[in-house]
Amino acid sequence: MIKTNILIIGGGPAGIVSAAVARKNNADKKITLIRENKKEIIPCGIPYIFNRLDSVEKNLMPDKSLKANKIDLLIDKAVKIDTNKKIVNLKDGGKINYDKLILATGSKPILIPIKGIDKKGVWQIKKDFEYLKKLRQAALKSKNIVIIGGGFIGVEIAEELSSIKKLNISIIEKLNHCLITTFDEEFAAAAEEKIKRKRVKIFTKAAVKEITGKNKVEFVKLDNGKNIPADLVILSIGAKPNAALVKETKIKLGNYNGIWVDKYMRTNIPDVFAVGDCAETKDFFTGKHIPIMLASTATTEARIAGANLYQLKNLRKNKGTITAFSTYVNGLVLGGTGLTENKAKTEKFNIIVGASECPSHHPKALPNTESVKVKLIFSKTSKTLLGGQIIGPESTSEMINILALAIQRKMTAYDFETLQISTHPLLTASPTIYPLITAAQNALK
């Protein structure tokens, strides 16, 4: 039997960061990380394996940090946990005895009951090196590709594949816009317009009735009667926590079948922690459990768990996710954090909203100047920032992180009025109309 002080199950971003932070806080402990695959994929890079990266090999997560932090890497599959004896059974018959356990088993793609979903030519987005290599080869040999699901991954894959001229790309989204679950309508609509310019066909307010074909996929039938030609279908309809390993234990599951954790990322079982997609996430504002799965959220949780294994640190705890995210569509950056206007109203928050639009450079006659649009949501009573959305060129991408920090520090619209900033004609909007400041001023009006 192998003995270790700290055992991490899972080799994705949450597992890697957990191990590194555990080492920083526990220099004398033996740390072991188990993962199933010899080669680990970078999840956020999956959409770009088809064209920009030009291979799956260029999207591998290096093991450099594990070696640098003296983390023992074990390629195997954990199949059973005995939390009383603190033993994990492995697929190859081995066993590991631990003092502290971090579960970072990630997520798995969702499958929905669609007739014909098991046909040849239907693919999922799996974090599996060999599977993705086959998907890439199949996609490059195709002509008509249909993507079911217009969330982040679906839109990013569509934009990536549309750069390959011979391919005809379609997105099927059952809601009224792609990306509408994470952006307000005007931002989601702007993203759709950008992707349509890359010859992508978007079918919204439509559900898939059936995937048809004799020996393999030939058409996707929609519930509105339309038939879309397809020789390859990619399912991008979300993910669910990979919590199968704890089903036969006393480790508690939450509302969305993720592993329940407290603010220190501890499960209900002593010395067992959970981080990332397999752990249930709470909303920063409402405290409600929400099915958010972002690498940025996962690594934050990993840093909290890694720091609190042996001694709780009150300054390192999870106050809930603010769901900070960004995406890139045909030259357009969209970012958001906190509550959208729609979500704030649904949750009965009393809000004021401020918007601003200005050139990305100053003066606007400078080359490559584009429009930057900002929308900020504040509490009407306290004027505290509750959320923000930004749309603009690539130079605006880090602005969303300013808003993420502002939410966590409970900044108000008045704080934004006196915000001290760096500007430059070639890099930013003018200091006289800087969009974050102007949007806050407009909200106060």
pLDDT tens-digit readout, 320-352: 999 999 999 999 999 999 999 999 999 999 999
- Taking Cα atoms as reference points, which of 221, 405, 219, 223 lies closest to residue 296? 405
> If pLDDT is split at 50, 70 and 90, which confidence band does 308 have?
very high
Q: What's domain 2-107+240-307's superfamily in CATH?
A: FAD/NAD(P)-binding domain (3.50.50.60)
Tens digit of each residue's pLDDT (9 = 90 or more) over 103-130: 999 999 999 999 999 999 999 999 999 9
Overall average pLDDT of the 143-150 stretch: 98
Tens digit of each residue's pLDDT (9 = 90 or more) over 253-279: 998 999 999 999 999 999 999 999 999
In 129-146, which positions are buried (b, 16+ CB within 10 angstroms) versus exposed (e)?
Answer: beebeebbebbeebebbb
Q: What is the CATH number of domain 331-444?
A: 3.30.390.30
**Is the per-residue pLDDT at 215 higher than 90?**
no
Assess whether the region 2-107+240-307 and the region 331-444 belong to the same CATH fold. Answer: no
Report the mean per-residue pLDDT for the chain. 96
Hey, which residues does 240 pair with through a beta bridge? 108
Overall average pLDDT of the 272-291 stretch: 95
**DSSP string computed for 176-232:** SSTTTTTS-HHHHHHHHHHHHTTT-EEEES--EEEEE-SSS--EEEETTS-EEE-SE
Hey, which residues does 433 pair with through a beta bridge? none
Q: Phi, psi at residue 331, to the nearest 5°?
A: 85, -5
Class of domain 122-237: alpha beta
Tens digit of each residue's pLDDT (9 = 90 or more) over 386-406: 999 999 999 898 999 999 999
Q: Where are the domains of the chain?
A: 2-107+240-307, 122-237, 331-444
**Is the per-residue pLDDT at 314 higher than 90?**
no
